[in-house]
């Protein structure tokens, strides 16, 4: 595979009836943070656009960057986010209460990052992390979690069964959206869970993208933005079925989907499918309207930032999540607007944002320099961050939330 290729068919139904509704231009990879030495070198950029499948309703990014480039090294650590730690603690309790009956049963986490979820389970059952990023897999291992440094596949599922046996629970959180060969992944899971196991996964809900979320969730790692309609189509095609579904207030708003071979569907499934119809998630016009709102909000945000700079206000960025790369590059916000960005992830500190080359510092920097405004790039954790930074806000620092509609708080 070259550095990237473009799909001309839907990744779950193979239809050619794909219609583009949002073009974000050529952007660098969301997590391709730069060292100071790399600032002088040419930076790779790739086309980034979003299409809708008129056959199965999947919203997807057609340009696929080689996963070896995307995931062999990675800077996102689940354990660097206190809201995510709490989320996975509750998640683990639900798994133990509902699906694990003995310490001999196995839980496999596909793309388990630094093992935050499995760390909550490892004293109650056997656990296994499948993590393709070498640097992150090493952190998981140091926590005492058995970790396979590889991409999940049907072939790997067979090897796991041979060595560990079948899994009672398989989890995959914010991984389904990253996978082009998603049918292959589901076939592998089908093998791994056997007749009695369950597959629980979380993925961005497409309504969050076009509703209370924001377009900045679109980047090259996120190949698909799922509705339950599209997921049902996919699951039916591989011989699995949804037996429960709910939304979770994480990464904006995500779907948590419960899958098995033979469990009876709860009423939640039928209700959710109807809710999506009411929201128009199975109609192209809904996404065309969203695209217009994105362009309008870009104009408003840039007008606000220019006005503040003319007044001599000092503005910084708060948080350097992957979504910030999309927003900053599509809006054209660089060092002339933001003096710097702060982030709690130590791996990111001392590096520079892709494309716009804004430096990233530890949160201590914001306490020292006391800016007038902080552009909240990690907007999906706005509630927790605004509460955490109560003293900073009290001292006069105002926060700008950029999406879905720009506002100052």
- Give pLDDT tens digits for 339-382: 999 999 888 999 999 999 999 999 999 989 989 999 999 998 89
What pLDDT does residue 83 have?
80
Whether residue 55 contacts residue 237, with contact meaning beta carbons closer than 8 Å, is answered with no
What pLDDT does residue 214 have?
83
pLDDT band at 78 (very low <50, low <70, confident <90, very high): confident
Distance of alpha carbon 166 from alpha carbon 186, whole angstroms: 15
What pLDDT does residue 380 have?
82
Q: Over the stretch 55-68, which tens digit does the pLDDT of each residue have?
A: 999 999 999 998 77
pLDDT band at 122 (very low <50, low <70, confident <90, very high): very high
Q: Over the stretch 290-326, which tens digit does the pLDDT of each residue have?
A: 999 999 999 999 999 999 999 999 999 999 999 999 9
Please say if the pLDDT value at position 1 is more than 50: no
Please say if the pLDDT value at position 333 is more than 80: yes
* Residue % of the chain over a pLDDT of 90: 85
What pLDDT does residue 133 have?
86
CA dihedral 64, 295, 176, 274 (to 10 degrees): -140
What predicted TM-score, i.e. pTM, was given to this entire model?
0.86
All structural domains of the chain: 78-285 (3.40.50.150), 294-408 (3.40.50.720)
pLDDT band at 211 (very low <50, low <70, confident <90, very high): confident
Q: How far apart are the first and last CA of the chain?
A: 46
What pLDDT does residue 381 have?
86
The CA radius of gyration of the chain, in Å to the nearest whole number, is 21
Please say if the pLDDT value at position 90 is more than 80: yes
């Amino acid at each position: 595979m070259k550095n990237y290729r473009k799909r001309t068919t839907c990744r779950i139904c193979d239809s050619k009836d794909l219609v583009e509704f949002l073009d974000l231009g050529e952007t660098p990879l969301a997590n391709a943070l730069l060292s100071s030495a790399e600032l002088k070198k040419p930076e790779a950029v790739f086309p980034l656009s979003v299409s809708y499948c008129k056959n199965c309703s999947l919203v997807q990014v057609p340009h696929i960057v080689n996963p070896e480039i995307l995931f062999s090294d990675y800077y996102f650590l689940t354990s660097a986010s206190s809201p995510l730690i709490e989320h996975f603690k509750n998640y683990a309790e639900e798994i133990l209460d509902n699906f694990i009956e003995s310490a001999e049963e196995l839980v496999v986490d596909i793309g388990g990052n630094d093992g935050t979820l499995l760390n909550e389970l490892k004293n109650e059952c056997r656990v296994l992390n499948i993590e393709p990023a070498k640097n992150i897999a090493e952190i998981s291992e140091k926590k005492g979690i058995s970790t396979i440094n590889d991409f999940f596949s049907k072939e790997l599922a067979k090897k796991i069964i041979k060595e560990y046996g079948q899994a009672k629970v398989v989890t995959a959180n914010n991984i389904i959206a990253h996978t082009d060969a998603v049918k292959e992944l589901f076939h592998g899971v089908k093998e791994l869970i056997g007749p009695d196991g369950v597959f629980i996964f979380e993925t961005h809900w497409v309504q969050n993208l076009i509703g209370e979320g924001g377009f900045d969730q679109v980047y090259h790692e996120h190949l698909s933005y799922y509705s339950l309609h599209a997921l049902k189509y996919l699951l039916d095609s591989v011989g699995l079925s949804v037996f429960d579904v709910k939304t979770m207030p994480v990464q904006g708003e995500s779907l948590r989907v419960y899958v098995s071979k033979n469990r009876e569907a709860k009423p939640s499934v039928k209700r959710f499918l109807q809710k999506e119809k009411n929201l128009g998630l199975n109609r192209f016009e809904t996404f065309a309207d969203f695209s217009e709102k994105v362009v309008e909000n870009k104009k408003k945000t840039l007008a606000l930032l220019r006005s503040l700079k003319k007044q001599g206000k000092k503005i910084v960025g708060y948080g350097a999540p992957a979504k910030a790369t999309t927003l900053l590059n599509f809006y054209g916000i660089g060092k002339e607007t933001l003096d710097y960005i702060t982030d709690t992830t130590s791996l990111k500190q001392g590096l520079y944002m892709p494309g716009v080359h804004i430096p990233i510092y530890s949160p201590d920097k914001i306490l020292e320099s006391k800016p007038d405004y902080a552009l909240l790039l990690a907007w999906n954790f706005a509630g927790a961050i605004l509460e955490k930074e109560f003293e900073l806000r009290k001292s006069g620092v105002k926060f700008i939330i950029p999406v879905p509609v720009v506002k100052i708080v």
